[in-house]
Amino acid sequence: MTHDISLTEQARDVLITNDRGSYTVPTAGLYPYQWNWDSAVAALGFAQFDVERAWVELETLFQGQWADGMVPHILFHKNDPGYFPGPEVWGCEGPISSSGIIQPPIAATMAHLVWQRDPEMGRPRMAALYPKMVKWHSWIMRWRLHRGAVCTTHPWETGRDNAPDWDKTMARMDASDVGEYTRRDTSHVNAEDRPTKYDYDRYITLVQLGRRLNWDQAAMLAQSPFRVADPTMTFTTLRAARDLVKMGAALGEDTQTLEADVARLEAGAATLWNEELGGFDSRDVHSGEWAGCLSNASYLCWFAGVENRAMLTKLRSIMERVAYPVPSNDPDAETFDARRYWRGPTWAIVNMLIGLGLADMGHEEEATDLAKKTAHLIKEHGFAEYFDPATGSAAGGGSFTWTAAVWLAWAGKV
Ligand code: DGY
């Protein structure tokens, strides 16, 4: 166990090193700002040894909330020329300089877990944060639903930037007017681990469109070629709604609207079931076409409180077949690439969300197995951003906040 204790110390060090005072960067260099869902996971990590600091992390995130309720995916607290696209490209006007899109809304779920670490101390903090979280949730319900499933308007919103889920939609996009720009990500890490220029041209084209439309959701709904109902956004929003109901009830709030949201989102999650694939899939809202992708996000059903026996069978099989599960893409898919970001690599963060869901739904054996496998991966290969699912070798950025937080809050506890 000495080994584990030292890893726990190292994990704390990663969080402390990436701490910029009131927010945490995902990793120095590659991601020098506050990212929305990374930050929520950082809060859970801090809560294992410093609950006060965990609350500050969440409170800082919600200081960036726009007047309409949106909570941006990046808060540019302090300009850093080492990142592209920075605040001048996004052209957003929020209380804190920011991007114009969101990320998977796991903040409510992480806040719920942080609160449980010290309910008495956390009560006034939660009472202040709760209405802000509900406001963000209502924003998502207002602007992003399609048949009850939650849509993404940019691959970056899902966190799964270059997942094959978006390939068909991206192929229909015209990115020829993107103009000249200089990527900074590939100056920090291996270009083979990152999305391609083809992908980046489309990411930036969508940012340019959002900016032209002044990030107006109604205009984006009408004019953007990119609108995909996806398992990441849908399952995390459904889970958030359930947690908001629980937190609201504990605070004595009326939760009727949220309960209705849960029902709507449950119906929406069912619309992501692709019978032919035998899994939860993404579907392009404009074309109605399935992506045909079994990703690690497909296994977030339990996190959302959605039981599915076929997915459980698939999970058991992938955990046997792959040395370091859960891969972000089906290893048998033509698009599988063991090192390229979300086209194959294993992400400890997604494993934790899957594992928390499995445990909640009574699948203790699978939950423990996944936590053990993730712990083994981190012990062998460190706090990397993501990992090759066959060899376990580290990929992307190092000293990564959320991988360290996953160790502290989940994997290192088995
Ligand atoms: C990036 O810059 O690679 C990020 O994933 C955008 O959120």
Pocket of ligand 1 (CB under 6 A): 73, 156, 161, 185
| Best residue among 30, 73, 103, 156 to mutate for probing ligand 1, ranked by most atoms within 8 Å of CB | 156
The confidence score (pLDDT) of residue 61 equals 99
Q: Which residue, by CA, sits nearest to atom 4 of ligand 1?
A: 156
Distance (Å, whole) CA 223 – CA 238: 27
Q: What is the Å distance from ligand 1's center to 349 Cα?
A: 16
Mark whether 307 is an active-site residue: no
Q: For residue 323, is pLDDT > 80? A: yes
pLDDT in tens, 353-412: 999 999 999 999 999 999 999 999 999 999 999 999 999 999 999 999 999 999 999 999
Q: What is the Å distance from ligand 1's center to 79 Cα?
A: 16
Please give the helix or strand (H or E) that residue 395 lies within, else none. strand 394-395
- Three-class SS of residue 386? strand
Q: What is the mean pLDDT of residues 314-341?
A: 98
pLDDT in tens, 267-285: 999 999 999 999 999 999 9
pLDDT in tens, 220-253: 999 999 999 999 999 999 999 999 999 999 999 9
pLDDT in tens, 29-87: 999 999 999 999 999 999 999 999 999 999 999 999 999 999 999 999 999 999 999 99
Question: In this structure, are residues 57 and 126 in contact, taking their beta carbons and an 8 Å threshold?
Answer: no
Q: Catalytic one among 193, 330, 366, 385?
A: 385
Q: Catalytic one among 38, 161, 185, 201?
A: 161
Atom of ligand 1 lying closest to residue 35 CA: 7
In which residue are the tokens 């599915």 written? 308
The confidence score (pLDDT) of residue 1 equals 41
Q: What is the Å distance from ligand 1's center to 345 Cα?
A: 16
Q: Greatest CA separation found in the chain?
A: 57
Nearest Cα neighbor of 157 from 207, 196, 205 is 207
DSSP string, 256-285: HHHHHHHHHHHHHHHTTEETTTTEE--EET
pLDDT in tens, 11-21: 999 999 999 99
Atom of ligand 1 lying closest to residue 73 CA: 7
Q: pLDDT class for 316, splitting at 50, 70, 90?
A: very high
Q: Which residue, by CA, sits nearest to atom 7 of ligand 1?
A: 156
Atom of ligand 1 lying closest to residue 84 CA: 2
Give every CB contact of residue 357 below 8 A, 6+ residues apart in sequence: 239, 300, 301, 302, 303, 304, 305
Distance (Å, whole) CA 382 – CA 384: 6
Q: What is the Å distance from ligand 1's center to 378 Cα?
A: 23
| Best residue among 31, 80, 90, 92 to mutate for probing ligand 1, ranked by most atoms within 8 Å of CB | 31
Helix axes 401-409 and 348-360, enclosed angle (nearest 10): 30
Q: What is the Å distance from ligand 1's center to 159 Cα?
A: 8
The confidence score (pLDDT) of residue 3 equals 54
Q: For residue 2, is pLDDT > 70? A: no
Strand partners, 145: 150
| Best residue among 161, 162, 328 to mutate for probing ligand 1, ranked by most atoms within 8 Å of CB | 161
Q: Which residue, by CA, sits nearest to atom 6 of ligand 1?
A: 156
Atom of ligand 1 lying closest to residue 103 CA: 7
Q: What is the Å distance from ligand 1's center to 343 Cα?
A: 15
Atom of ligand 1 lying closest to residue 159 CA: 5
Number of helical H runs and strand E runs in the chain: 16, 10
Question: Which tokens in the block code for residue 261?
Answer: 């949201």
Q: What is the Å distance from ligand 1's center to 362 Cα?
A: 34
The confidence score (pLDDT) of residue 5 equals 72
Distance (Å, whole) CA 283 – CA 293: 10
Mark whether 4 is an active-site residue: no
**Residue % of the chain over a pLDDT of 70:** 99
At 312, the amino acid letter reads L
CA atoms within 13 A on the CB side of 62: 24
Atom of ligand 1 lying closest to residue 83 CA: 2
Q: Report DSSP state, residue 286.
A: T
Question: In this structure, are residues 370 and 354 in contact, taking their beta carbons and an 8 Å threshold?
Answer: yes
Distance (Å, whole) CA 295 – CA 315: 11
- What average pLDDT is seen over the chain? 97
**Residue % of the chain over a pLDDT of 90:** 99
Question: In this structure, are residues 153 and 226 in contact, taking their beta carbons and an 8 Å threshold?
Answer: yes
pLDDT in tens, 203-217: 999 999 999 999 999
What is the pTM (predicted TM-score) of this model? Answer: 0.98
Q: What is the mean pLDDT of residues 2-23?
A: 90
